[in-house]
Amino acid sequence: MFIDIAEIYVKAGDGGNGAVSFRREKYVPAGGPDGGDGGDGGNVILKADKHLRSLSDFRYRRHYKAERGQNGGSQKCSGRKGEDLVIKVPCGTIVRDRETGLIIADLVEDGQTAVVAKGGIGGKGNVHFATPTRQAPNFAKNGTPGEEKWIILELKLLADVGLIGYPNVGKSTLLSQVSSARPKIANYPFTTLTPNLGVVSMGEGESFVMADIPGLIEGAHKGVGLGHDFLRHVERTRMLIHVVDVAALEGRNPVDDFHVINMELKKYNETLAGRPQVVAANKIDVADEKTVKDFTETMEGLGYKVFPISAATGRGVRELINYVYEMLKTLPEPEIFVPEASETVYRAEEEDFTVEIEDGVYVVDGPWIRNLLRGINFDDRESLQYFQRALKRKGVIQALEDKGIREGDTVRIADGMEFDYVP
């Protein structure tokens, strides 16, 4: 199974600020407040797309921000809502909060969406704060900030293409040529002990997953060598690239090699043996031209498409990959990994405010209190009175008293504002 991981930063749009405005028209000397509300900020939304195959695009762009809500205007005009930012991810993507490690979304089906960062709420205009005794409020509320966080995208997806063939025929070299995978390459009886996987990029939003299956040997269907382990893996691929050493550097006949490997596939699983298969005649840079020609004619006579290549030099590799990519478009949709028991999706709830004691100072902080501060005009008496009432309604005053605050003790709000406590 292929596990691809990417980390990205998402920032939802801030809410627009409410407006402080008063109706000013001819013959209407005291029209009253008419400041409109700010618009909500845009959300950051992830959307599963069955046409995407990997997370490779997130290697090049890691920061995503949604649009901010517009500020309110006069004449009770509300600001426009910020546009949501929709980010497409492959089906099968699990989303985790990097800080907590908790799952916040599990996107399996095509078109499924999840809000991973909520936009801020637009602030209220001063028209909302008029009362019979406060007819000209000189303050409004600012919008709340949009959520921001680093998230981890984790994709569990089975390979589209399997590389099969004897050990040392050049499968690992081919994989390293067409992807960022860096398998160990050496002349061992079993060059690859576990499947190596790589993402083959065909352009923005276009890619497929290739698996270098451990080298098959005669008797693999009986479990000889690593037979059962890697055959179970290649069983889930959509098509196969059969890599053959046409230079016969190991002293074997290339045509015999081809038939031995396919016989092992058939004995293990006939469905697997029936997968679409193309032949990569590898090592043409050191092979005899007549041998390559005879092998190609033999394979084409059996109905196989043959690509003479040199994985070491890159010759013919691009033609092979382009053909495979076009062929994949005609095959059934890839299988998505779905765990037997779905993991629980969590959302952490953040407290509105906290009260702590630091060096004898009572510190009040939290998202609610910070948002409240942004909408207060401390030079305006009515706005200051509104602030005091809000603290009492929210339970901040009670929380301070529960902590043992006394008259004259210092209270610090958020990052800097301080005042003496007066009950």
Highest mean pLDDT among 80-84, 218-222, 274-278: 80-84
| pLDDT tens per residue across span 83-142 | 999 999 988 888 999 888 888 888 888 899 999 999 999 999 988 888 887 778 888 888
What band does 350 get if pLDDT is binned at 50, 70 and 90?
low
Number of structural domains (the chain) is 3
Which has more confidence, 67 or 205? Answer: 67
Based on the fold, state whether residues 241 and 131 are members of the same structural domain. no
Quote the CA–CA distance of 100 and 149 in Å, as a whole number: 11
Which has more confidence, 143 or 3? Answer: 143
| CA nearest to 325, candidates 50, 53, 2, 49 | 53
Give the domain CATH number at 380: 3.30.300.350
189-206: burial string, b at 16+ Cβ within 10 Å, e else: eebbeebbbbbbbbeeee
Which has more confidence, 179 or 153? Answer: 153
Based on the fold, state whether residues 95 and 193 are members of the same structural domain. no
274 part of a folded domain: yes
For residue 350, what are the CA distances in angstroms to 97, 366, 377, 403? 14, 9, 26, 21
Pairing of strands 206-212, 85-90: unpaired
31 part of a folded domain: yes
Domain of 288, in residue numbers:
159-328
Quote the CA–CA distance of 317 and 281 in Å, as a whole number: 10
406 part of a folded domain: yes
Based on the fold, state whether residues 81 and 123 are members of the same structural domain. yes
Based on the fold, state whether residues 200 and 320 are members of the same structural domain. yes
Based on the fold, state whether residues 11 and 63 are members of the same structural domain. yes
Based on the fold, state whether residues 149 and 268 are members of the same structural domain. no
Based on the fold, state whether residues 231 and 321 are members of the same structural domain. yes
Beta bridge partners, 232, equal none
336 part of a folded domain: no
Q: What is the pLDDT at residue 192? A: 38
Mean per-residue pLDDT, 212-239: 57
| pLDDT tens per residue across span 59-73 | 778 999 999 999 999
Is the entire prediction scored with pTM above 0.85? no
56 DSSP 8-state letter: G
Comparing 113-117, 189-193, 270-274, the range with the smallest average pLDDT is 189-193
Give the domain CATH number at 260: 3.40.50.300
What band does 55 get if pLDDT is binned at 50, 70 and 90?
confident
398-423: burial string, b at 16+ Cβ within 10 Å, e else: ebbeeeebeeebebbbeeeeeeeeee
Q: What is the pLDDT at residue 220? A: 46
Quote the CA–CA distance of 292 and 373 in Å, as a whole number: 78
Mean per-residue pLDDT, 174-185: 67
Q: What is the pLDDT at residue 344? A: 46
Boundary-marking domain end, from 134, 156, 178: 156
| DSSP per position, 121-189 | PPPPPGGGG--SS-SS----PPPPPPPEEEEEEEEEE--SEEEE-STTSSHHHHHHHHSS--------T
Mean per-residue pLDDT, 17-42: 83
Boundary-marking domain end, from 156, 174, 189: 156
Based on the fold, state whether residues 363 and 277 are members of the same structural domain. no
Boundary-marking domain end, from 110, 141, 156: 156
Based on the fold, state whether residues 73 and 118 are members of the same structural domain. yes
Based on the fold, state whether residues 194 and 244 are members of the same structural domain. yes
